[in-house]
Amino acid sequence: MITYEFLQNYWWLLISILGAVLVFLLFVQGGQTMLLTTKEATYKSMIVNSLGRKWELTFTTLVVFGGAFFASFPLFYSTSFGGAYWLWMIILFSFIVQAISYKYRQKEGNVYGTRTYDTLLFINGIIGPVLLGVAVAMMFFGAEFTVSKANILNPQASAISQWGPGHGIEAIFNFKNLILGFTVLFLARVQATLYFINNIDDKRMHEELMPGFRLNAILFVVFFLTFAALLLTAKGVAYGNGTAEWTDYKYLHNFLDMWWVLVTFLVGTISVLYAIGRTVFTKGFTKGIWYSGIGTALVVMSLFWVAGYNGTAYYPSLLDVESSLTIRNSSSSEFTLTAMSIVSLLIPFVLAYIVYAWYAMDRVKITKKEIEETAAEEKY
């Protein structure tokens, strides 16, 4: 028989999968950060057209990720999205700007010029990964909120959860959060280069991308190792028997207690490093994006698992430890989770469609000749 606890664990697993897909697709944002440093107009158009085939997948996944949290863990949705609204509003605004830029960058009558829209894409490329990393980092290092479910019966209370006066702004200036934010940013830039090498058929462009790729790879490794060190030595909130308390080395203990999570994390890390090393040292290697993409997904899922499983609060409160959110106290009702679980059986078919659409879009590589011969209104 399927229990309520099983459904809660199952939906946290689905959340981790969506989070993994989202982080992988942030290579679109990483590629956008290269627009202002690319001098040749044709190469810039090749980058935009390569990313233009995928940016909608990133935006859609972000929306689905938020929607899944709303349906399965509504207390987190109301606490984080409704409490840290300045953080989330900045993120969403940057993605809205992205959509406008792809829509009008090359349209006839563009009075602002492509440079303006390239700058907006660059801004989204920086803000999106960094602030999403900050938002996820709060799942490990905590956030300034309190929760009182009794407020639902109080007409004078505006919400169940109450946030600090910064409403998410303070999280942006927390150096631990920023470490993960910059880790995600440089990972996105690394994966963007790997994607261009796979998707764009131009050896000269590949050679020009390599110096920046090496630098981004080094910075990614430095920030990733720093984040890993902070995580493994950090306190976490453990819960059980109706109580919650801060516990030293909680996430390290989670890795050790759940060996399969540790294996997933290590395999994912090795896969990403293999993609980087093989691309640097093997001329003509174009499959790095797949090793890196799979590795990224494995690492992100394992991080969600250590954040929410093994009696761990996935959203610790820095103001009141008892207000910390867990997959037990923040989930939807058993009926809701059961109904949505039935619908979730369609997910493999959706993923199959995405894979097919990806293959159809990338079946023919982008070339310099194609871009030069394509009419402006047919380009992004």
The identity of residue 299, as a single letter, is V
Task: Please give the Cα distance from 75 to 70 (Å, whole number).
Answer: 8
Task: Please give the Cα distance from 118 to 152 (Å, whole number).
Answer: 46
What are the boundaries of each domain within the chain?
Answer: 4-233+314-378
Residue 284 Cα distances to 6, 197, 272, 278, angstroms: 47, 9, 18, 10
Contact status, residue 312 vs residue 306, Cβ threshold 8 Å = yes
- The helix or strand, by DSSP H or E, that contains position 147, with its residue range, turns out to be strand 145-147
Residue with tokens 């897909």: 21
Task: Please give the Cα distance from 173 to 178 (Å, whole number).
Answer: 7
Token couple for 353: 């469609």
pLDDT < 70 positions in the chain: 111, 149-159, 372-380
What is the pLDDT, as a whole number, of residue 157? 57
What is the pLDDT, as a whole number, of residue 150? 63
Contact status, residue 99 vs residue 60, Cβ threshold 8 Å = no
Task: Please give the Cα distance from 31 to 119 (Å, whole number).
Answer: 13
Q: Backbone phi, then psi, for 335, in 5-degree steps?
A: -60, -45
What is the pLDDT, as a whole number, of residue 371? 73
Phi-psi region of 240 (alpha: psi -120 to 50; beta: other; left: phi over 0): left
What is the pLDDT, as a whole number, of residue 201? 83
What is the pLDDT, as a whole number, of residue 81? 84
- Residues found in the chain: 380
Of 3, 2, 12, the closest CA to residue 327 belongs to: 12
What is the pLDDT, as a whole number, of residue 344? 87
Of 32, 106, 25, 52, the closest CA to residue 361 belongs to: 52
What is the pLDDT, as a whole number, of residue 82? 81
Residue with tokens 């969403």: 92
